[in-house]
A and B are shown apart, each in its own frame.
Chain A
């Protein structure tokens, strides 16, 4: 109620009543005045109340943020590159396991049904099997994306390769 009175959002009739009381009641008047002074004083002294950032903290903070901001895009690129490398490795492992017959039964089943429906992958694996493992290192992008999808389709908890 006092807050509404001070900031002027109080109902005018109620305000009138309160004004009348305040005029007669010294302690209440003193309270209201000092409360108002507290609020106004706070506003005026804002800068003194705020914690000023010490120069040396400011310098350290600026140096830290500037360097980190510069490194950030680089870090992101490194991270993406790493993810990409991991993925390529996994695809290569999958291809060699498939040609060597080292896939788990769940993965073998997925591979079989995929190759039955996908002439591209079928041809690719036929070629790898006849020409040897060297081609397994880096399958073409289309095949790669199929194989990634295949790995993701493996139910959780199922292994990709034979133990």
Chain B
């Protein structure tokens, strides 16, 4: 994470604690987009995500006094958000998700790829790195179970390191690596199907 962000966070935390005017605005400016994205990616529902975001900011404001500072401020906020959303999700489990196993590469006994393998990397780099593909990727991740989705969002969308993601989710770094890797394999497979067959899996 950049030094810039560290400094912003330090100053923000200090002004929140003092109840300085504008501190809450600054908190909102820096974090509402990130919190909404994270909440949406877990809850997949706009009004749930909105309520969760309200809860997250209230918790942050209430607890800045007792925040110990033994983790970074932003990772503390993310953790509050993850916990808030998972609690909500537990209340109403209704998500149907795909089985990630269906999207893992399959090998023959000789160790060869069992299904034909086309190289579409050039086409993507040339033409398709656009907003539409981004939205496609988001749609694919929505079909994943949240244990993979949360890791993917924190690492690949929010750009946190594996160590930071591990701390936020209370998991080990190898566990994060493995989930992230499977999520990426899944995405590769989904993109293949999408780009080669012109339809989503």
Contacts and interface: CB of A to CB of B under 8 A. Distances in A.
Interface stretch (A34-42, A87-95, A135-143): A34-42
Interface in B106-143: 112-113, 116-121, 124-125, 129-131, 133-135, 137-138, 141
Nearest to B105: A31
A35 to B, nearest CB: 5
Main SS of chain B's interface residues?
A: helix
B113 A27 contact: yes
Contacts of B54: 61, 64-65, 68
A151 B192 CA distance: 72
A3 interface: yes
B80 interface: no
Nearest to A30: B119
Contacts of A46: 134, 156-157, 159
Contacts of A45: 129, 131, 133-134, 137
A48 B135 contact: yes
Main SS of chain A's interface residues?
A: helix
User: Chain B interface: which size bin?
Assistant: 35 or more
Interface in A22-59: 25-31, 33-39, 41-54, 57-58
Contacts of B86: none
B129 A57 contact: no
B78 interface: no
B125 A39 contact: no
A25 B156 CA distance: 29
Nearest to A66: B24
B120 to A, nearest CB: 6
Interface stretch (B1-9, B55-63, B68-76, B90-98): B55-63
Contacts of A2: 181, 185
Contacts of B159: 43, 46
A73 interface: yes
Contacts of A42: 137, 156-157, 184, 187
Given A49-B137, A50-B37, A64-B54, A31 B124 contact: no
B37 to A, nearest CB: 4
B83 interface: no
B10 interface: no
A41 B129 contact: yes
B50 interface: yes
Top 3 closest A-B pairs, CB basis?
A48-B134, A27-B117, A45-B134
14 contacts: A3-B177, A28-B117, A30-B118, A31-B188, A33-B119, A34-B121, A36-B121, A37-B121, A45-B133, A51-B41, A57-B36, A61-B57, A62-B28, A72-B61
